[in-house]
């Protein structure tokens, strides 16, 4: 199915958010995720089933002012 990851369309196998993140190559501990602009806490990644056209944002720390 198609989902949008950081604004880009990608094909993924239907499944849980945690599995999709691994399939995309996200392995680092220090990321935070929102789906459809709603925060998804890390402990709930396993119970979050992604749907077609869901918008996934994966964020990490950077310098800031």
Partner 1 sequence: MSKVCWSVYGTQLSSRLFLGTARYPSPAVVEQAIVASKTDVITTGLRRQAPREGGGDAFWEFLKRQKCHLLPNTAGCQTAKEAITLAEMSREIFETDWIKLEVTGDEYNLQPDPYELLRATQELINLGFKVFPYTTDDLVVCTRLAELGCEVIMPWGSPIGTGKGLINPYALATLRDRLPTIKLVVDAGIGLPSHAAQALELGFDGVLLNTAVAKADDPVQMARAMALAIEAGRAAFEAGAMPVSETATASTPIVGRPFWHTK
Q: Which stretch binds partner 1 (CB under 8 A): 11-19, 44-52, 54-62?
A: 54-62
Six-digit token string for 26: 């996200």
State CA 29 to chain mean position distance. Answer: 13
Q: How far is the CB of 34 from partner 1 (least distance, A)?
A: 5
Q: Which stretch binds partner 1 (CB under 8 A): 12-20, 31-39, 47-55?
A: 31-39
46 dihedral zone (left: phi>0; alpha: psi -120 to 50; beta): alpha
Based on CB atoms, which residue is closest to partner 1, 22 or 53? 22
């Amino acid at each position: 199915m198609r989902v949008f990851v950081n604004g880009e369309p990608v094909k993924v196998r239907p499944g849980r958010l945690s599995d999709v993140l691994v399939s995309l190559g996200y392995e680092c501990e220090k990321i935070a995720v929102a789906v459809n602009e709603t925060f998804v806490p890390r402990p709930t990644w396993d119970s979050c089933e992604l749907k077609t056209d869901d918008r996934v944002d994966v964020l990490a720390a950077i310098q800031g002012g």
